[in-house]
Every structure is written in structure tokens, then in C-alpha cells.
């Protein structure tokens, strides 16, 4: 293999930098795009997480592709207690509106109706399967809502940040959790829901989140916010001062880090490349990364010394000598495109 190394240093100048502490037992601040951890406090401690579990229930509903289905509410809601949207048996309501009730009002009855419609007894298995699929290795779900009396749901601040990062990649999910109020009319009732996430009304950069509380878990909170191309998620577990702590965490992130475009999808131009002069080199994905002042960002291109078409190497990104990302590099022979062009021109004549 041939190594081509380019060093790029970024020196960011911040007008004000915030220190940050929280009242939480566990807390994390993460960039949702790169999943870089910007603040960590007991992030792998596993504990009851209460209603922020409903983020996974919402994800499965959104990914089902059935949000416009009409659900007839059945006896499954008889086991619901605590927070609810107070739907009734026999009520006809769209799956989409059930998800709004789930996320805006933390409706336990909505969670049971969603689980019954999409998976019946297998829904919790689907939750755990999805958790493993997206890299949540510290999480066990026992129900679709987080109620502790039914064994409860256990996770870590880190896993809940991973889940939320994934959820925020889904456009339908982002729309729902960023909604402040929502009106619904069914065959039995009319509803007007106000989102319980106070940050949507109090912190201008908020894009979503989910509240939670049980006597065992205490207050749990997930929030997301975006500013200047930096997309963040904050998670706190057992935090009696959670809304203020989230503002502090998010302000710390926005004041300390800046998203830097590192790799751009498309053709590459690599200086002093002696091996691939007759090839187009390209990458298929763009990549950006949050950097703080004084950090050194380096890109290494590792290419095969034997030119060929297809995947020929890697673009590796390092921050302070630690690898944070890698992306395949592809090669296509220039002569192929010229030949095809000549064939097309000849055929056209």
C-alpha cells in the first residue's frame, strides 16, 4: 500500500467558552452526525430510563411505513396508567396521530395501541432487535413505554444518545418531535396537545426531545438542538434540574465546537499522485466533524500501488492522531469514459 498524507490544522476562535456541570447521575452531549462525544458523565451506567424509551417505539412506528393507517383502539389500553392521551376503546385514530400523542404527551395508552397494531406480543422483541442493529449494547426493553412496574426499560445515557442520533435521521420523526402543538379529531373525540418538552418553547435552537419520569428512574430527558451546522443531542438520567442542565450542555457544545467539512462526496484531487494519473478517484459520502479550538485534524489517503478500477484504498480522518472516520476510495479509468464518449459520438453520426 502507498501512503499519501496531508495535514490540515484548524484553529477555532471562540468569543466565549462555557464550563458545564450537571445535577444528573448520568449525562452526555453528542454530535448526532458523527456521534462524537462532547461531554460525558457516567455515560455507560445502566439504569431505568422511563418514558424516553418511547423514542424507540416512535422509531419503529415511523419505519413501519404505515403512519397513515387507521388504528381501532382495543382492550390493550386497559393496562395503561400514568400519563396518557385518554383514547377510548373503539376509537379510530391514525398511527401518525398516535405517535404524536406518544411523543408530545407521553401517552402510555398510545404506546400500547401502537405496539398492539404493529407487533402485538412481538413488538418488544422488535424494539430490542432494533437496539442491537443500531449499536445499543447496554439496553434492554421490556415494554413500549418505560413503566417500571412492568419490569421497566434499562439503558445508558450513551445508548439513548445513539438511539436519538438514529431517530433524528428519519424525517418523519424529526417533524413529530419538533412540533409544539397538534390537533386531532377522531370518531369519538377532538384533541389539542401541547408538547411537554419545555425546551421547544424556551430554547430557540431546540429541534426535539422527550421527557420521562418514574419514581424509580426519576427525571430523564433527551433534547436535540441545531445551530451553525452543528446538530447535538443531550441526555440526562436522574436529574432534578434537567431543563436548565440541557441548556447549559447545549450552549457548551455550540460555544466550544465548530462543524468542519472534511471530505466532500465526488471526485478527489490528490497532490503528487504518481499512480492514478489515468484514473478518476472519488468517494461516495461527504463527512463533517465537530472540532474544538487547538485540535489538529489530519487526512490520510491510503491507496494501492497497483492501479485498478473499483475500490482502491481508504481516506482516513484523524483528530489529534486518533482515527475518527474512514471512507473507501474508488477509481475509474479515464480512458473508459473517453472511449464511451467516442462510441456515442460515432453512433450519433
Residues tagged active-site: 51, 54, 106
| Distances in whole angstroms, Cα of residue 342 to Cα of each of 277, 279, 345, 346 | 21, 18, 5, 6
92 alpha-carbon distance from chain centroid: 31
Residues sharing a CB contact under 8 Å with residue 94, sequence separation 6 or more, in sequence order:
67, 68, 69, 70, 71
Contact predicate 35/43, CB 8 Å: no
CB atoms within 10 A of CB 316: 17
Q: Give me 1's grid cell.
A: 500500500
Report how far residue 171's alpha carbon sits from residue 183's, in angstroms, rounded to the nearest whole number: 20
Reduced to 3 states (helix: H, G, I; strand: E, B; else coil), residue 92 is strand
Report how far residue 234's alpha carbon sits from residue 286's, in angstroms, rounded to the nearest whole number: 25
Residue 262: phi, psi to the nearest 5?
Answer: -105, -55
Report how far residue 147's alpha carbon sits from residue 216's, in angstroms, rounded to the nearest whole number: 9
Sign of CA dihedral 72, 78, 79, 85: positive
Amino acid at each position: 500500500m502507498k501512503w499519501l498524507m496531508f495535514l490540515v490544522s484548524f484553529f477555532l476562535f471562540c468569543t466565549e467558552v462555557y464550563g458545564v456541570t450537571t445535577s444528573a447521575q448520568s449525562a452526555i452531549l453528542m454530535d448526532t452526525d458523527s456521534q462524537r462525544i462532547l461531554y460525558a458523565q457516567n455515560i455507560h451506567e445502566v439504569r431505568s430510563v422511563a418514558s424516553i424509551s418511547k423514542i424507540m417505539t416512535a422509531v419503529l412506528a415511523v419505519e413501519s411505513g404505515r403512519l397513515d393507517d387507521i388504528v381501532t383502539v382495543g382492550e390493550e389500553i386497559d393496562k395503561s396508567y400514568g400519563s396518557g392521551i385518554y383514547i377510548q376503546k373503539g376509537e379510530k385514530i391514525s398511527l401518525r396521530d398516535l405517535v404524536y400523542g406518544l411523543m408530545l404527551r407521553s401517552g402510555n395508552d398510545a404506546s400500547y395501541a401502537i405496539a398492539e397494531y404493529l407487533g402485538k406480543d412481538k413488538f418488544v422483541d422488535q424494539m430490542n432487535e432494533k437496539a442491537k442493529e443500531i449499536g445499543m449494547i447496554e439496553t434492554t426493553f421490556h415494554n413500549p413505554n418505560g413503566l417500571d412496574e412492568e419490569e421497566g426499560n434499562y439503558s445508558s445515557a450513551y445508548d439513548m444518545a445513539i438511539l436519538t442520533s438514529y431517530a433524528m435521521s428519519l424525517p418523519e420523526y424529526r417533524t413529530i418531535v419538533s412540533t409544539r402543538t397538534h390537533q386531532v379529531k377522531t370518531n369519538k373525540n377532538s384533541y389539542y396537545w401541547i408538547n411537554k418538552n419545555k425546551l421547544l418553547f424556551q430554547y430557540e435552537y431546540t429541534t426535539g426531545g422527550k421527557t420521562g419520569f418514574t419514581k424509580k428512574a426519576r427525571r430523564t430527558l433527551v433534547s436535540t438542538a441545531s445551530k451553525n451546522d452543528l446538530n447535538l443531542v443531550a441526555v440526562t438520567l436522574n436529574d432534578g434540574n434537567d431543563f436548565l442542565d440541557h441548556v447549559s450542555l447545549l450552549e457548551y457544545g455550540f460555544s466550544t465546537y465548530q462543524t468542519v467539512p472534511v471530505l466532500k462526496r465526488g471526485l478527489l484531487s490528490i497532490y503528487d499522485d504518481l499512480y492514478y494519473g489515468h484514473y478518476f478517484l472519488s468517494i461516495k459520502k461527504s463527512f463533517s466533524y465537530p472540532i474544538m479550538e487547538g485540535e489538529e485534524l489530519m487526512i490520510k489517503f491510503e491507496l494501492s500501488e497497483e492501479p485498478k478500477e473499483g475500490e482502491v484504498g481508504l481516506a482516513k480522518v484523524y483528530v489529534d492522531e486518533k482515527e475518527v472516520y474512514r471512507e473507501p476510495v474508488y477509481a475509474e479509468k479515464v480512458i473508459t469514459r473517453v472511449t464511451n464518449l467516442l462510441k456515442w459520438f460515432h453512433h450519433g453520426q
